[in-house]
Structure 1
Amino acid sequence: MQSQTINPLKAVTTLFMGAVSLVFLVPLLWMVSAAMKFEKDVLVFPIQWIPTAWNAAGNFKAVWMADIPFYLFYLNSLKLALIVTVITILFSSMAAFAFTKLQFKGRDFAFGILLSFMIIPEQATLVPRFLFIKWLGLYNTHAALVVTMMFSIYFTFLMRQFMIGIHPEFIEAAKIDGAGPFRIYWGIMLPLCKPILATVGIIKFIWTWNDYQHPLIFLLDKELFPITLGMQLFKDDYADNFAVLMMASLSAIIPLLLIFIILQKQVIKGISLGGVKG
């Protein structure tokens, strides 16, 4: 049995990247530590990473059982993230299927025009989108956020790159059996695209959960606020209580941490496959 030799350069690189990763984790670790403390202990120097006196229950109660409806912000974010994610997956996958497996005049030209829109900053279209939402009568509703966020050129491109790598024999065999375009899309393409669908779903969920700009522009009523705007209310009421603010922040990112920890391999696999095909 041959002994494996250790590559010194690879070992040094790994140790260096591990040290850099720990540096980036310091703010997160400080947030977790502060969320467990009494307010008087938060800014003590040197930092007490492990609290000498624990107040996690008190901070948790201040966040979830106060007059500010933190649970409602949570539910609003969950509702918006799920709806927008599902619709984005559906629309982007259908568009990607049309641009790869359907033959129609001007297909490549239309896709080129679509990609050209990616150079336009999203902020440049805020005023037209705001006027459009007002015209539709959807202002100050969750539907306004769904309409403005449900389609993504980037995810359409990502799915298209993945679908290009799917062999056309699957499509030809389905056509011989009499399957139409929708049946091919739903019964063949989607099952073969599970890695990229999972990747798009996870990233879109995270983006929607963390979105601050769209709710700020299109929502007025506090009862409709997602977690991002709800955190601003906490900042106003607990500006001098970092312990409670850190507990609220920790509560806000827990779903994202769980998603990333559980499904990170799927995300990396989907991005790598979508990037190398085509």
Structure 2
Amino acid sequence: MLTQKNLDAIIELSHDLLERIHERVSGEFEIEATIYNIVTFKLFGFSLNTFKSICYLLPHTVYEQATVLYRTLWETSVNLEWISRNPNQNALRFVQFTGVEQRRLVQKRIKAAERSGDQAVVISLAKHLAEFERELETQLAPFRFEDQRGRRRWRDRFSGHSLEAVVREVGGEWLEEYDRDYALACIYTHGAPGAVLFPLFDFPGHKLDKARSIDRSAIVGAMAIEIMARIYRRYLLDILESEDEEYLQNLSSRVREAGTL
């Protein structure tokens, strides 16, 4: 079981990575305003804020909530990797899917109005939705399909039928992480029984509970560093046309060492 000493080392390394990223990506850069570059830039910023949030939680050993954020960070990394495999087409799909998400929200508002019996709101929103679909027909078309019964359906994701299908397409380390880390993180994200009720200890002062919280926080921190490093590498290669491989390799070794202190 990892101790406070291990956790402190992981926290120090997470801050080291944040400082390194700040040093390398801060400032003004001339970047071509392609859809892929814009999407990658936004995904990187989103990932960085998520990683920072995990770093804020680690000293408090609230590993459950840090694990929820890890799930967000990991899935963002998969999205970025999938988009990078076919930059122009996949980045466009990422942008276009915002129309599907907006349509979905309006549809839910219609259902809420139907439940409350507010027919005037139902009619108004239905008209708005029909107009929205007409105006964004080209943008929405790639995500619309008919099921076996001929009913109109909408894709749940911008990248395919399911996250699992995307992970299998991307392959590599994401495959094992999907079946192991992501599956566990989902339990915490959804407040499932296994997350809420485990662990239950009956020890004076909850000593074992505290020790496990430190252990799990160190593990989540190490996992988050690995994913953020992966995202940082992709951003450097594709946006800044640069690399920081020596630092990243050294960071990976230091993370492993931190787990053996």
Q: TM-score, normalised by structure 1?
A: 0.27
Q: Which has the higher contact order (CA 8 A, sep 6+)?
A: 2
Q: Which has the larger radius of gyration?
A: 1
